[in-house]
Amino acid sequence: MTEQLRLMAVHAHPDDESSKGAAAMAMYSAEGVDVLVVTCTGGERGSVLNPKLDRPEIWENIAEIRRAEMDRAREILGIRQAWLGFVDSGLPEGDPLPPLPDGCFGLMDPEVAAEPLVKLIREFKPHVITTYDENGGYPHPDHVMTHKISMVAFEAAADADRYPDAGEPWQPLKLYYNMGWSFKRMTLFHEAMLELTGESPYTEWLKEMQERRTAREGQPEWPDPDKRVTTKVPCGDFFEARDDALRAHATQVDPDGFWFAVPLNLQQKIWPTEDFELVKSFVETSMPEDDLFAGVR
């Protein structure tokens, strides 16, 4: 291709872009790809997960703070970013689960909520789009809705009869799902940390994953992301930028916590890729891939 390559990553909240596919985005940006993150909500109902910042004045200004954090993360990754403007649904907890708040993103009609995303696709003209799988990566209502509107928008963007007021049609060429932590990846990191330090931050998480797997015996197997991966993007050199961007979301992550427990050089040695599943393509490609733009370039 002679024109500049363009990548759009659709995420639910500010900070999601820095924990899912961030190193790949930073790598592509450094290569000259135009990268745009679309953030569906403002994260207004997110928790303050950094104990050093869990103070009343933070909670009172959380919406403004999360926007400022997003600006810092965007600069670190070298990308562009746009807000869709929907209201965070929060993560319902309890048994039974409480209803979602009125007017939130998770309660919207996907056909209605997809229109501003269609407009952005037609304006930005991405060749490749990344988003979440049908489970949202994990079952947060905003993540599931992000998946739904991404699927609607990917199909509708090229159809002149759909959303006729949202700009001239554009056909994205490939659609990927971000693939999260697999059992294999976590096990490898767990074993490496035990060997290195005698302790592992993954002990409880692995135990929970194992329980979820065995609890479903006789039922459909608990979905392991590793079995769905089609595309492993080697971007270990940009893990530091990924972590710096995640730390920029200071209210959302403990800088001394779980996400940063494994030394970067160990991560780069054991699992130097970010992983994706190709779900739609209008170009020919062969599996496995190591490039989101395979078949496009």
Show binding-site residues for Zn(2+): 13, 16, 143
DSSP secondary structure letter of residue 30: H
Q: Do 34 and 12 meet the contact criterion of CB atoms below 8 Å apart?
A: no
Can you say which residues are annotated as belonging to the binding site? 13, 16, 143
d(CA 296, CA 284): 8
d(CA 255, CA 240): 13
Paired with 20 in beta bridges are none
Question: CA angle 13-16-22, nearest 5°?
Answer: 140
- In 3D space, the residue among 171, 173, 170, 175 whose CA is nearest the CA of residue 123 turns out to be 170
Sheet containing 174-178, strands listed edge to edge, beginning at the edge strand earlier in sequence: 80-86, 34-41, 6-11, 128-131, 174-178, 273-281, 231-234
What DSSP string describes 169-197? ----SEEEEE----HHHHHHHHHHHHHHH
Three-class SS state of 277: strand
Three-class SS state of 227: helix
